[in-house]
Amino acid sequence: MRELTADEIRASFVNLHDPAPDLPLPGLHEVVWEDREYLGWRDPSLASRGYLVHETPDGIVGIVLRRAEPRSGAGVPAMCSLCHATQPATQVALWSAPRAGQAGRDGATVGTYICEDLGCSHIIRMLPASSPWAIGSGDLLEGRSSGLVERVRSFAATVLSTR
What pLDDT is attached to residue 163?
66
Q: Is 89 or 48 the better-scoring residue by pLDDT? A: 48
pLDDT band at 74 (very low <50, low <70, confident <90, very high): low
Exposed e or buried b per residue across 124-162, where buried means at least 16 C-beta atoms within 10 angstroms of its C-beta: beeeeeeeeeeeeeeeebeebbeebbebbbebbeebbee
Does residue 112 have a pLDDT over 90? Answer: yes
Q: What is the pLDDT of residue 16?
A: 87
CA distance 39 to 90: 21
- Alpha-carbon gap, residue 106 to 77, rounded angstroms: 34
* pLDDT for residue 72: 62
Rounded distance, CA 14 to CA 11, Å? 9
pLDDT of residue 76: 82
Tens of pLDDT, residue by residue over 42-55, are: 999 998 999 999 99
What residue segments make up the domains of the chain, in order of their start? Answer: 6-160
> What's the pLDDT at 85?
93
